[in-house]
Amino acid sequence: MSRRLTHTLGSLGQEILLVVVILALFAFVGVYNPRFLSENNLTSIFVGNAYIAVAAIGMSLVIISGNIDVSIGALIGVLAVISGLLVTNGYPIWVAWLAPLVVGAAINAVVGCLIAYARVPSIIATLAMLSILSGGLITFTGGQWISGLPAGYQLAQFRLLNVPSPVWFMIGMTILAGFLMRYTTFGRSVYAVGSNPEAARASGISYKATVVKVFAIHGAIGGVAAVLFATQLQVIQSTTPVGLELVIITASVVGGVSILGGVGTVFGSTLAAILFAAIGSSLIFLNVSAYWLRAVQGILILATVLADMARRRRTG
């Protein structure tokens, strides 16, 4: 009980720390260059990166369950193209919005089965999926962008109460997933499987079923991320940003999800995704070359991982 309390406090600490860092960053860059805080820039930070925060929610579930997924970037690319092809081939818009969720869940359920039933380590299964999905995508599309999207399809450009829809999705899905993880049997079984698979099995939790469900949910959330990614511009690029999966994993880990599984919340990962987006944008306003962005991300993930290990050793 007290252990869980320390864990809760520990992960909460990470979230408070992230909020402080985000506010400090906004204040610092805002003072240096006031245009950083303009509504335009803030909107572009949130709208352009909300899909990363959404995908990081699913990734957090995967990492809490003691696994990893390096294929999520490629999956988002594939699902975005599927959505675009459906809508440009005359299917109703709602089909194009929902199909990525279903296909994403189906693809990742297969991956989950490989991991849970065929005992393929998640890193190997998802590395292979990364290769299959990204190779298949380029072969299939020939690198061409999809244009001629019908009006009303651009979900990510909608606004509600003058707040862009991706922000609503980001907040709504974070709360939903937070609720799922905190208050449902399923959520608890994910933590149990991640912190001690043997003990989980002994207490009647099916390791295999839990892992397959986690991956299926992760795939469906990836579908939502793909729709947000696909509908933010007037065209759909057939490639996702290089290293997208790393940004998503980094958001989860920096958000306080322990790399060893069993610990973490989805709130932290959303905050971390916001922090990354802000860092990326602030480099431009601080006149630092954007080519350093990945190095900054690398340092951040390394520092967080080392801090996580140090904290674990201290608390035992």
Partner 1 sequence: MTAMTRILIRHEFILGILFVIVLFAMASQNDRFLTTANLLNQARLMTEVGLIAIPMTFVIVTGGIDLSVGSILGLCAILLGVFWQNLGLPLPAAIGLSLAAGTAAGFANGLIVTRFRVPPLIATLATLALYRGLAEGISQARSVRGYPDWFAVLGRGDFLGIPTQLWLFALVAAVGIFVLRFTTFGRTTYAIGNNEAAAEFSGLPVVRTKLLIYTASGFISALAAIVFVSRVSTTRSDMGSGIELEVITAVVLGGTSIFGGRGMVIGTLIGLCLMQILQNGLSLSGVRGDGTTVVIGAVLIVAVLISNLLSRFSSD
Residues that bind partner 1 (CB under 8 A): 68, 70, 114, 118-121, 123-125, 127-132, 134-136, 138-139, 242-243, 246, 249-250, 253, 259-260, 289, 291-299, 301-302, 305-306, 309-310, 313
- Residue 96 or 109: the one with the smaller Cβ distance to partner 1 is 109
- Residue 172 or 241: the one with the smaller Cβ distance to partner 1 is 241
Q: Is 144 helix (H, G, I), strand (E, B) or coil?
A: coil
Cβ–Cβ < 8 Å for 290, 283: yes
Least gap, CB of 310 to partner 1 (angstroms): 8
- Residue 187 or 243: the one with the smaller Cβ distance to partner 1 is 243
Structure tokens at 152: 């009303």
- For residue 76, give the nearest of 92, 109, 52 by alpha carbon: 52
Q: Is 270 helix (H, G, I), strand (E, B) or coil?
A: helix
Give CA–CA dist 82/78, Å, rounded.
6
- Residue 120 or 167: the one with the smaller Cβ distance to partner 1 is 120
Give CA–CA dist 50/46, Å, rounded.
6
> What is the number of other CB atoms lying within 10 angstroms of the CB of residue 119?
8
- For residue 58, give the nearest of 78, 38, 75 by alpha carbon: 75
Least gap, CB of 105 to partner 1 (angstroms): 20
Give CA–CA dist 279/146, Å, rounded.
30
Least gap, CB of 141 to partner 1 (angstroms): 10
- Residue 131 or 234: the one with the smaller Cβ distance to partner 1 is 131
- Residue 10 or 243: the one with the smaller Cβ distance to partner 1 is 243
Residue with token string 């957090």: 60
Least gap, CB of 294 to partner 1 (angstroms): 3
Least gap, CB of 273 to partner 1 (angstroms): 15
Least gap, CB of 280 to partner 1 (angstroms): 12
